[in-house]
Chain A
């Protein structure tokens, strides 16, 4: 990819104390990617990996739909079907939507708040490699005796050793544990980044709405992941150590699993949709040429959804028999959470109303999100009514609901984001005509695939069945649904073709191709390594817009400046921008995790021991290396002082004095974590 690479710094020859491997300096080639700690590259890694898993999960979906296209399907046996639908769900949730959202968080949040990177760049890399490790571990199960087959929700006692004697479920639980650690670390990282590394003037209520939704989502991840972690450990103990947590004969309770799982699981679905909502909220104002309607209300609704999302989990358990009090209470709370969600829908409509709308591909996807998500939300509201839900639960009606919100919602939103920010990341605008085709074919396919599922559900077709009899009356709509699924596949192929076509024939993107509103568009396309040459000072919400436009006395937009005046083009000759150094250790540490897991799955303690060793080595070496090396002379000077650069430095800069201490060498803001060697520190 075309990344502007600054000349590598020539390190003075001073060996760091505890290295036995030279600190990587490369920023290009495979090594560059393996050792990167640059949030933008990590974002790209997340995005590309998630997209590949999307194709895999999509392939699994096609297998499911082939099997169900006709009654008494013979494409997949029941056993294989269980593996395929389990992996489809697990993949789409944990290996596609979450990491694709992470791709956007990673790439955009530092740029949107005017920072140079996240708070803990190496931890950021570690999170990505844990994602990859976990995903590969999960998929290795296909080659090692069978993939997870207990559903993505893993209900006990079906997943107990009695009813799932192979290793399938072990792969599932260890895979998810690894993924969970990566996500939790990433969440903490982004929370600290968002709270602590904002550019001057970037008050919380001036942050772009996407950054806000990212913040809420990351709090949800931070607090929800531990709950499923405990559930998975309890399952592991039951399966491997003979405990009875979910065994009723011994006093255990399968409902414990469901409770813990859904305490995680409900916040999880907001984790899946809030980022896409953030993306839509960014796209709509740009393509309607109007500010987001009710920005503070959008922020508070997002927070409210995040908050209330912790109080509705039992709606996944209305048919479990928990009694009227619990059931009624959660029914009410579930109805209530529709309120902030509905507010957002109205605000998006309000954003479009009276705007001069440009129906470019990102906007098509954003509008698609709003419509499809509303449909999904409406079926969701019907689920809130307990008597109705008793009929709907475990039927295809539920499958319809969650695909409308997760595909019609999250996936469409994420694609919108891909089209919108593609020029920023890759320096080219995706082809508009192909984009439209992608959108319409996908929209058509999606509605064909999942619309009929509402009907099938209401006609009694249960979920999670591998075949159905010919006389149930379900044949027609199942067939239509399969046609829809393959139509989605066609749409996806169009997208892949678009990417390739743009790569080969696309023109380099201009600055600010969409006439956007937020700070990240001040950097050139694609974004250079160092993000901002000089940290912007923020004076408004949608600051970039206010730099370009103001309003005349009649309230009409008046352009005051071109984007080109603000885009931070290049570093002055002779200057360098000090960046934290790449590192092997996050990757090394992350390799330890699946090794431990394999050892546990196969009860080979020596293998686990080896994994622990690899993990600890990675962590130690990481902890002991400086965040940035070689140490910047400024850093050394700063150690003993309150601040590097007080009023005198500002005067020097104002007088146009360049060089390493001048305005062109901002060190990484806010990397406070003292490392344990000389020089600057970041984790």
Chain B
């Protein structure tokens, strides 16, 4: 790892010691092991299978809700674990979640104005 450790930074006041120490600790943290990644991949595959099954079995509003929930779960799992955002610095999380939240909010309002959400 090439990031400085807390010890090296302690004499520099105002460097965001909190963030830096968090990052340093993260870098020494265990990532999920390969086997754990495998389990996560298996879970994702299973969720996909469930999605497809639901697609074939039902076709109503509940379907849409469930499919969206499953989609969000898969999305979060890949972002959190495969992209490591769960274990990484807060700054990165804020950057991405910020963009994501903005997109979802703005485009939802946009779709509202086209009457998409009228049943």
Direct contact of A and B (CB under 8 A): yes
From 367 to 388 in chain A, residues with beta carbon under 8 angstroms from any chain B beta carbon are none
From 67 to 119 in chain B, residues with beta carbon under 8 angstroms from any chain A beta carbon are 91, 98-99, 102, 105-106, 109-110, 112-114
Cβ of B16 under 8 Å from chain A: yes
Cβ of A202 under 8 Å from chain B: yes
- Taking a contact as CB atoms closer than 8 A, the residue among A201, A255, A642 that contacts B4 in the complex is A642
- CA A311 to CA B113, docked complex, whole Å: 13
Report whether A310 and B102 are in contact in the complex, using a CB–CB cutoff of 8 Å: yes
Given contacts A223-B99, A326-B113, A200 and B13 within 8 Å (CB-CB): yes
Given contacts A263-B106, A326-B113, A642-B5, A201 and B99 within 8 Å (CB-CB): no
**Closest A-chain residue to B99, C-beta based?**
A223
Report whether A310 and B14 are in contact in the complex, using a CB–CB cutoff of 8 Å: no
Chain A residue contacts of B99, Cβ below 8 A: 222-223
- Taking a contact as CB atoms closer than 8 A, the residue among A206, A255, A259, A643 that contacts B14 in the complex is A206
Cβ of A432 under 8 Å from chain B: no
Report whether B113 and A259 are in contact in the complex, using a CB–CB cutoff of 8 Å: yes
- CA A206 to CA B1, docked complex, whole Å: 30
- CA A672 to CA B27, docked complex, whole Å: 15
Chain A contact-residue range equals 20 to 34
Chain B residue contacts of A206, Cβ below 8 A: 14
Report whether B110 and A203 are in contact in the complex, using a CB–CB cutoff of 8 Å: no
Given contacts A259-B113, A314-B113, A201 and B14 within 8 Å (CB-CB): yes
**Closest A-chain residue to B11, C-beta based?**
A650
Given contacts A200-B15, A223-B99, A538-B14, A322 and B8 within 8 Å (CB-CB): no
Task: State the interface size on chain B (CB cutoff 8 A).
Answer: 23
Chain A residue contacts of B91, Cβ below 8 A: 195
- Taking a contact as CB atoms closer than 8 A, the residue among A537, A538, A642, A674 that contacts B8 in the complex is A642
Report whether B12 and A643 are in contact in the complex, using a CB–CB cutoff of 8 Å: no
From 316 to 332 in chain A, residues with beta carbon under 8 angstroms from any chain B beta carbon are 322-323, 326
Report whether A200 and B14 are in contact in the complex, using a CB–CB cutoff of 8 Å: yes
- A-B interface contact total, Cβ < 8 Å: 50
Report whether B8 and A643 are in contact in the complex, using a CB–CB cutoff of 8 Å: yes
A618 CB, min distance to chain B CBs, angstroms: 27
Cβ of A534 under 8 Å from chain B: no
Chain B residue contacts of A459, Cβ below 8 A: none
Report whether A223 and B13 are in contact in the complex, using a CB–CB cutoff of 8 Å: no
- CA A539 to CA B13, docked complex, whole Å: 9
**Closest A-chain residue to B4, C-beta based?**
A643
Report whether B113 and A201 are in contact in the complex, using a CB–CB cutoff of 8 Å: no
- CA A168 to CA B112, docked complex, whole Å: 34
Cβ of B2 under 8 Å from chain A: yes
- CA A311 to CA B105, docked complex, whole Å: 9
Report whether B14 and A674 are in contact in the complex, using a CB–CB cutoff of 8 Å: no
- CA A253 to CA B115, docked complex, whole Å: 13
B91 CB, min distance to chain A CBs, angstroms: 6
- Taking a contact as CB atoms closer than 8 A, the residue among B14, B98, B105, B112 that contacts A203 in the complex is B14
**Closest B-chain residue to A323, C-beta based?**
B113
- CA A206 to CA B15, docked complex, whole Å: 12
**Closest A-chain residue to B111, C-beta based?**
A259
Report whether B2 and A201 are in contact in the complex, using a CB–CB cutoff of 8 Å: no
- CA A539 to CA B110, docked complex, whole Å: 46
Chain B residue contacts of A643, Cβ below 8 A: 4-5, 8
Chain A residue contacts of B2, Cβ below 8 A: 642, 672, 674
- CA A315 to CA B114, docked complex, whole Å: 16
**Closest A-chain residue to B91, C-beta based?**
A195
Cβ of A574 under 8 Å from chain B: no
Report whether A201 and B102 are in contact in the complex, using a CB–CB cutoff of 8 Å: no
- CA A198 to CA B9, docked complex, whole Å: 13
From 193 to 229 in chain A, residues with beta carbon under 8 angstroms from any chain B beta carbon are 195, 198, 200-203, 206, 219, 222-223
- CA A198 to CA B45, docked complex, whole Å: 43
Report whether B12 and A259 are in contact in the complex, using a CB–CB cutoff of 8 Å: no
Chain B residue contacts of A198, Cβ below 8 A: 15
Chain B residue contacts of A322, Cβ below 8 A: 113
Cβ of A242 under 8 Å from chain B: no
Chain B residue contacts of A646, Cβ below 8 A: 8
Name 13 A/B residue pairs within 8 A (Cβ), A-sorted.
Answer: A201-B12, A201-B14, A219-B98, A223-B102, A253-B114, A259-B113, A322-B113, A642-B1, A642-B2, A642-B5, A642-B8, A643-B4, A643-B8
Binding site for A on B (CB under 8 A): 1-5, 8, 11-16, 91, 98-99, 102, 105-106, 109-110, 112-114
Shortest beta-carbon contacts, A-B, top 3: A201-B14, A200-B12, A326-B113
Binding site for B on A (CB under 8 A): 195, 198, 200-203, 206, 219, 222-223, 253, 255, 259, 263, 310-311, 314, 322-323, 326, 537-539, 642-643, 646, 650, 672, 674
